[in-house]
Amino acid sequence: MVKEMRFESSNPFSLSSSFHKHNHVFVKFAVSLLLVGLAFRLLFSDSIRLISVVKPLPPPIETEETESPVSSFPVQTPSPPPLYSPANNTTQKPENVKCDIFTGEWVADPSGPRYTNETCHVIESHQNCMKNGRPDSAYFYWRWNPRDCDLPKFNAHRFLALMRNKSWAFIGDSISRNHVQSLLCSLSPVEQAVEVYHDKEYRSKRWHFPSHNFTLSVIWTPFLVKAAIFEDMNGVSTSEIQLDLDKLDKTWTDQYNSLDYVVISGGKWFLKTAIYHENNTVSGCHNCPGKILTELGFEHAYRSALRLVFSFIKGSDHKAFVFLRTTTPDHFENGEWFSGGYCNRTVPFKEGEVATNDVDTVMRNIELEEFGKASAKDAEEGVSLRLLDTTHLSLLRPDGHPGPYRQFQPFAKDQNAKVQNDCLHWCLPGPIDSWNDLVMELLINGENYQ
C-alpha cells in the first residue's frame, strides 16, 4: 500500500494527506485495542482477587505427640518444651480443668540435678550417694510429670522472695530431715544458709538465710505426740517406746506460734513396738507379745496422733500455712532393713508395675481420712491446710535410695562385702527434690488443690 502510494501519486501534498488519513484510522484502532485490553486485565485481576478471598483455608495439619523415652539412658534427645514460661514460672492449665499433681509418671529429663554434693554442703553422709561411691547416675535424669498439667520446676529465686521475713519448719522424723536438706540444697544456688542451731544429737536443726531473713528448721519428733524413746542412732532399742496418745510433743508445739509455714509428717515409727498411754494410764500396745495388754495396733496410735495434731492446729489462735505430707514407702526387696533387704534397681517403675504394700496403704488411708475431716471447714476457720501426697509418686522410684552407699565406699576392700542397705531415705540429689516442685505449686496455686 505504501509502495502504491509512492509510485502512483506524484503530488507530495496528496501523499501527505493520504498518510495522515490512514494514520488517524490506525491510532483510533490502537486506542480501542488498548482500552479493551485494559478492561480485560482489570476484570481478570478482580476475578483472581475474588477467588483468593473466598477460597477456603486448608484443614489444620494434625501432629502426633510423642513422649520422652523413659527406659534407656543416656538420653539422646531433649524433652518436649514445657507448657510454662521460665520467666514467670507459671503453669498454663486449661480453664476449668482441675489438675491432680500427684497422679502422673516419671519422665526422662536430660537437664539433670539442680545441685551436686560439691555445691551443697548440708547433705548428711548417709544420703551423699555420689561421695560414697554409687557408680550409676541415671537416677538423676527424671522428673515428675502430672497427667493432666505441667509442673514447673522449683524456682529458688521466687521461693526465697516469698519467704522474706518468714519462718518454715519440717516437723517429723528423719525423712523430714531428708526433705529439708533437699530444700536447702535446691536454694543453695541463690543463697547458702547458715546453721544457727542444732540439738545434742543433731536431729533438730535450724538455718538462717541472712539476705532474706528467712528461717528454715527441722524439728525431730517421729511420733508428733509425747514419747519416751529408748533407742540409739543405729535403731537398737533397750526397752519399749512409751507413747502418750493424748499429749502432743512440746518440742514442736512450743515453737508453733513462731512458724509461718509447717510441713507435718509421720509414718514408719508407729510400726515399732510401743506401749500406749491415755488419760495417764496404759491403754494398750502395739506388737507387745508376752505382755498382758490389749493389742490396739499402730492404726489406733497413728489416727489418735493425727487427730490431736489437727485439733491443736485448728484450735490455735496462730494461723500457719500447714502441709500434711503422706507416708513414705520403702523399697526393700528380699528382706527388711535388718534382715538383708536391698534395693538395686536403676530405673523408676512404670504405672502398674508395683502396688503400695498393705501397711503403707493403711497409713495413707488414715492420713487422707483425718486430713479430709480437718480440712472440711478450714476456710471458714481461717486455717490453710494442704495435702502433700507424695506416697504414690515416691513408690515409683526404687532407684533413688542410697542402698549400700549409705556408707563410704562400702565395697572398696571387698566386692562381696555384706553391708546394711538404706532403701527408705533418698540420695541427694535424688527423687526427693521433686517434692519441692510440689510444695512450690501448692504454695503458689494452693486454692486449686483443695
Output the pLDDT for position 43: 39
Output the pLDDT for position 306: 98
- Does residue 140 register a pLDDT over 70? yes
d(CA 59, CA 215): 57
Q: What residue spans define the domains of the chain?
A: 2-53, 104-449
Average pLDDT, integer, range 226-250: 89
pTM for the model: 0.78
Residue 28 sits at φ, ψ, to 5 deg, of: -65, -40
Output the pLDDT for position 182: 98
Average pLDDT, integer, range 393-410: 97
Q: Quick: pLDDT tens for 240-249.
A: 999 999 999 9
* Side-chain half-sphere exposure of 80, counting CA atoms within 13 A: 11
What single-letter amino acid sits at 173?
D
Q: Quick: pLDDT tens for 254-288.
A: 999 999 999 999 989 999 999 999 999 999 999 99
Q: Quick: pLDDT tens for 317-331.
A: 999 999 999 999 999
247 by Cβ neighbours in 10 Å (0-12 / 13-18 / 19+) ranks as middle
**Residue 119, H or E segment:** none
Strands 225-228 and 241-248: antiparallel
Q: Quick: pLDDT tens for 66-100.
A: 333 223 233 323 333 333 233 333 334 444 456 89
Average pLDDT, integer, range 137-142: 96
Q: State the average pLDDT for the chain.
A: 82
Average pLDDT, integer, range 372-384: 81
Could you tell me which of 233, 174, 188 has the C-alpha nearest to residue 402? 174
Give the strands of the sheet with 194-198, arranged side by side.
Answer: 194-198, 205-209, 214-220, 167-172, 261-265, 321-325, 384-388
Q: Which residues are catalytic?
A: 174, 422, 425
Strands (DSSP E) contained in 330-424 are 384-388
- Residue that the C-alpha cell 510440689 belongs to: 438
- Residue partners of 27: CB distance under 8 A and separation at least 6: none
Question: Among positive and negative, which fits the CA dihedral 348, 350, 354, 360?
Answer: positive
Say which CATH architecture domain 104-449 belongs to: 3-Layer(aba) Sandwich (3.40)
Average pLDDT, integer, range 17-43: 43
Question: Measuring CA to CA, how many Å separate 404 from each of 118, 338, 411?
Answer: 21, 13, 9
Output the pLDDT for position 32: 52
Q: Quick: pLDDT tens for 177-223.
A: 999 999 999 999 999 999 999 999 999 999 999 999 999 999 999 99
The larger pLDDT score, comparing residue 245 to residue 38, is at 245
Could you tell me which of 420, 421, 425, 419 has the C-alpha nearest to residue 397? 425
Could you tell me which of 431, 432, 428, 434 has the C-alpha nearest to residue 132? 428
> If pLDDT is split at 50, 70 and 90, which confidence band does 231 have?
confident
Question: Among positive and negative, which fits the CA dihedral 105, 111, 115, 117?
Answer: positive
Q: Quick: pLDDT tens for 152-169.
A: 999 999 999 999 999 999
The lowest-confidence range among 175-189, 221-235, 400-414, 432-446 is 221-235
2-37 burial code (b ≥16 CB/10 A, e <16): eeeeeeeeeeeeeeeeeeeeeeeeeeeeeeeeeeee
